[in-house]
Amino acid sequence: MITDIVAWPRERLEQLSTRIVFFIAGFVMAAWAPLVPYAKARVGIDDAVLGLILLCLGLGSIVTMPIAGALAARFGCRLVIALASLLLCLTLPVLATVASAALLVASVLVFGAAIGALDVAMNIQAIIVERASRRSMMSGFHGQFSLGGIAGAAGVTGLLAAGSTPLAATLCVSAALIVLLTTAAPHMLPYGARREGPAFAVPHGVVLFIGMLCCIAFLTEGAVLDWSAVFLTSSRDMATSYAGLGYAVFAMAMTIGRLTGDHIVQRFGGANTIVFGGICAALGFALAALLPSWQAALLGYALVGIGCSNVVPVLFTSVGRQTVMPEHVAVPAITTLGYAGILAGPALIGFVAHAASLATAFLILAIMLLGVAAGGRRLRI
C-alpha cells in the first residue's frame, strides 16, 4: 500500500499531505481540551483565573500569525508547518505536567503560538494546492480538521478514562503526531505564496471584507461552543448531564457539511454556498431562540453547523483569488480577524445575555449571519 502511495502523482501527494496537516491541527487542538480540568486542579486556580489563562492561547496565536505568513513566503510552507507541529509535540507533555500558574501561562502562550503558525501555513498551502488542482478542495481540507478534532478529543478522553496519566496520554498524542508529520512532510510545499509585496500589512479592500465575514463565522462557532450548553440548561430546561449534546450536534453537522462541501461548492458555486450557509445558520439560531423546546434548539444547532460548515473554507478560497494583497499577508490577516471573533465574541454575547437574554444574543447572531449571506454575493468565488 505504501508503494502505491509513493507512485501517486506529485499533485495528489501534495493534496494528501495537506489533508494530513489539517487533521494534525484539529487533532492536537482537541487533545488539549480534556486536559484542561487536570491543569486547573494541578495548579490550584479558580474558573476566573483559568479563563484568563486560556485566553493566552488565542493571544499567542494572533501574535504569530503574521510572522508565520512572512516565514512561509520566505522559507516555504513545509518548514513552518514542520517546526510548528514539532513545537506542539513538545509543548503538550509540558501542559500535562506544569504545576504553577506562571509556567502554565507560558506553556499555553507557546502552544497558542504554534497553533497560530500552523493554521496560517497550512491554509496558505491549501490555497496553492487547491488552485493547482483547478477544483474545489478547501472544504475537504477543513473537514479533515474537524475529523482530527473528533479523534483527538475522543482519543485523549479514552486514554484518561482507561487510567492513563495526562503525561502518558500526551506522549501518545505526540508520538501519533510525529508519525503523521513524517508521512506528510516529504510532500509538503517547499515554497510558500508569492513573495511580492510587504511582509506585513494592515488588511484593506476585499481582504478586510473577507476578514469581517470570517470574524462573524468564527464568532458563531465560539458562541455555540461556549453558550450552547448554558442556553439549553437555563432557557430550555435540559438536564445538565445532557447539555453537551448541543455542541455535539453542531460539530457533527459541521463535519458532515465540510466532508461533502467540495461537491456542493463545485455544483452550486462558492457565492451561492455562502448565501445558503448564512441563511441556514441564521435560521438555526432563530429556531433555537424562538421555539420553546430543547428539541428545537438541537435542530437549530444542527442547522447552524451545516450552514457555517463551508463558509470559512470558501472564504479562504476567495483569498487565494483576490489580487489586492499577497497570500502570505492576506491569509494571516483574515485568520487573525477570525480568531478575534472567537476571543471577543463569547464575551460580547455574555454582555448581551446579561443585559437582555441569550435568546436575544442568538437573534443578533442570526442578523449578522444574514449579513454574511448578503456579503457572499460580492465575492469573486
Q: What is the pLDDT of residue 345?
A: 82
Report whether pLDDT(1) > 50.
Answer: no
User: What cell was used for 343?
Assistant: 476571543
Instruction: Tell me which residue range forms the domain holding 114.
Output: 2-187
Whether residues 121 and 214 fall in one domain: no
User: What cell was used for 304?
Assistant: 447552524
195 falls within a domain: no
265-276, pLDDT tens digit by residue? Answer: 999 999 999 999
User: Which of 187, 213, 231 finishes a domain?
Assistant: 187
How far apart are the C-alpha atoms of 156 and 246, rounded to whole Å?
21
199 falls within a domain: no
Whether residues 46 and 111 fall in one domain: yes
How far apart are the C-alpha atoms of 105 and 91, rounded to whole Å?
12
Mean pLDDT of 168-181: 96
- Highest mean pLDDT out of 83-92, 184-193, 346-355: 83-92
192 falls within a domain: no
User: What cell was used for 169?
Assistant: 496520554
Rg of the chain over Cα atoms, rounded to whole angstroms, equals 20
295 falls within a domain: yes
How far apart are the C-alpha atoms of 175 and 198, rounded to whole Å?
38
Whether residues 290 and 337 fall in one domain: yes
Q: What is the pLDDT of residue 304?
A: 97
Q: How confident is the model at residue 102 (pLDDT cuts 50, 70, 90)?
A: very high
* CA 277 remoteness from chain centre: 17
Q: What is the pLDDT of residue 354?
A: 85
Report whether pLDDT(283) > 50.
Answer: yes
193 falls within a domain: no
Buried residues in 205-232 as b, exposed as e (16+ CB within 10 A): ebbbbbbbbbbbbbbbbbbbbbbbbebb
Report whether pLDDT(154) > 80.
Answer: yes
211-259, pLDDT tens digit by residue? Answer: 999 999 999 988 898 889 889 998 999 988 788 889 889 999 999 999 9
Helices assigned H by DSSP within the chain: 2-6, 10-32, 36-43, 47-75, 77-95, 101-133, 138-161, 166-184, 205-235, 245-259, 261-268, 270-290, 294-308, 311-321, 327-355, 358-376
Whether residues 153 and 219 fall in one domain: no
286-297, pLDDT tens digit by residue? Answer: 999 999 999 999
Mean pLDDT of 350-359: 89
Stated pTM of the model: 0.89
CATH code for position 293: 1.20.1250.20
